Structure 1
Amino acid sequence: MTRTPTTRLRRLGAVLLPILLSAGLAGCEDTTESTQTGYRGTGMVQFTSPATREALALANAIPEAQPPASDEGPRASELYENVQVLGHLSDEEFLRTMTAITEWVAPEEGCGYCHNLENLADDSVYTKAVARRMFQMTWAINDTWKPHVQETGVTCYTCHRGQPVPANVWFQNPGPQEAQGMARTDTGQNLAEPSIGLTSLPYDPFTTLFADPAQIRVASTTRLPSGSDKTIQQTEKTYSLMVHMSEGLGVNCTFCHNTQSFSSWDLSSPQRVTAWHGIRMVSDINGTYIDPLAGIFPDTRKGPLGDPYKANCTTCHQGASKPLLGISMLQDYVAALGRAPAGN
């Protein structure tokens, strides 16, 4: 048989192809890993990679706790004027907590972010009133919403991460200015908002669904005809919120749902129950603690419709299924942030 250049290339390819394929696979064999989170055969699997885990670890690094303080001695309310929410702490624990909060929320601005430095008892700085309400909100989360935060709890750092305003907030989104002609048919979607995964779904599912979480359910609970009044628009808004949750927690739909039946609680994972409480927790803290501060916040911290910046799932989770990868900072600050003291 005559050996032509084509024959030689074929033989060379037969030898080199397995080597090249092996080298290529060896270079990417550790790029994706799967973890089964549901019954076998249900496809309830989460995917991750070493690069993703490393990035999450860096993004969720926590500051060292302040050195422990004595609980002995007079209370802060006995030593300082106008201490309205942390007066039950000892002097040492009070100063320790203030130091930690400065690091968590306003490390560059320092104490002057909330206080008039010439008179610390003065209430003229609006952020001082906001901070008091945020303490009360944190108490409520850690004490009332344990079905969602468990014993891990939250601190100011969970959301703020060293910034006066958390990186991920939302406000009522009116969309673009009203257009003319055929463009006047804006239906509240197709703006590719990052908070909903850059999808074409409704860009503000929060105003409606956090106000009334019962509206989230759009699947019928009975056989057709069900008499359900759920519309396609309502369904799209629910999907928008679900995409937001998936993006915010860095997971896919099967983290909570079995795709055999999205509506079935019996087939769902325990995380769905945790998420159910989480949605209602966010609804509560926005409605009870943040929205009422609209008259205190300056316009620079409000949306175009005048409502304050509020929390959603990404505010705490920031791409991790458990905020701060499940590490509890609360354990070092239980006295100040664990629950409301008597009389508060």
Structure 2
Amino acid sequence: MSRDDLSDSRPVLVTGGAGFIGCNIANALAERGHEVLVYDALSRPGVEKNLAWLKERHGEQVQAIVADVRDEDSLARAAREAQAVFHMAAQVAVTTSMVDPREDFEINIRGTLNLLDAIRLKGDGTPVIFASTNKVYGDLGDIDFRLEGERYCAQDPAVARAGIAETRPLDFHTPYGCSKGAADQYVLDYARSFGMRTAVLRMSCIYGLRQMGTEDQGWVAHFLIRALEGKPITLYGDGCQVRDILDVSNAVEAYLKAWERIDRVKGRAFNLGGGPANAVSLRELLAHISALLGRELDVHYSDWRAGDQRYFVADTNAIRHALGLSPAVPWKEGVALLAEWLRESRRLPRETVQVPAVDSGEVAHA
């Protein structure tokens, strides 16, 4: 993406553009002056509100196609118009993939292949940026961890210091891991085999404004919603599992810069997360939420879920250097801002939600 791209009247296609990350990308593109085409089946509860929000903010600058990525002809027509594509549409939950692995396959693999082939046959070098997942690395069962207080820590000093790098061998677990992993590899191979301008971002846990969190996906927002509503929260496993969480504003910056620098990063996959400085266990997150609300939370425990990683922290050095990313929002600040947005958007009774001031000394690189 260059300054000249604003003279290109063709829209930028965002599949899954009414979803959490997709609508934030669509909003950022529209704010930069681009025409945006949102392609979304609106199958996830609540996402129609995100589409309405986009239309309210940007009017005719944002157009929508309500359709499924499994509809090959409809997707090809949308892709034919696009100057660039952010492919965010997916079946996003491990639990759902265990219930209906065939649908998971159809959406995540066939849907991605439909898009890639539409762009390949179009033949004009349209960039495709694909939303992948850290689940492509499996459960990391060969890495030794130790329990320190309320979190797991890697025994390997290099992993503890920097996190999991892109050099980590792929190891697909669960149907979701297989479908997203296969799609990830198709996107990379279409760059290798057909010279397409594609890139892959393997995301850790992204959270932030406009997230409609559920128990199966979007757990940071889910915990906050349950806490704000005074409802019980279930932790699967012991709650000491660690994730590096990243505010959606930082994720959006990474996607847009991947497009901007697509000729430098085409054919590459990058880990995208909060990195070691934004690594937090589920228990630590709940303790922070409890402090924000000024009361104890109702927390229950259940069995571990299939394919759950006790620890995942992304090594973000490659993406930070390749894309020149801004410092990540410190997780405590970001979670507090999300708590306040959720309270306001759901019209919940006001509680004391303390939004901490930004301490520049705590800012971590994404």
TM-score (norm 1): 0.23
Q: Give the number of the structure whose residues are more often strand, by fraction.
A: 2
Q: Which has the higher contact order (CA 8 A, sep 6+)?
A: 1
Rg (Cα) greater in structure = 1
TM-score (norm 2): 0.22
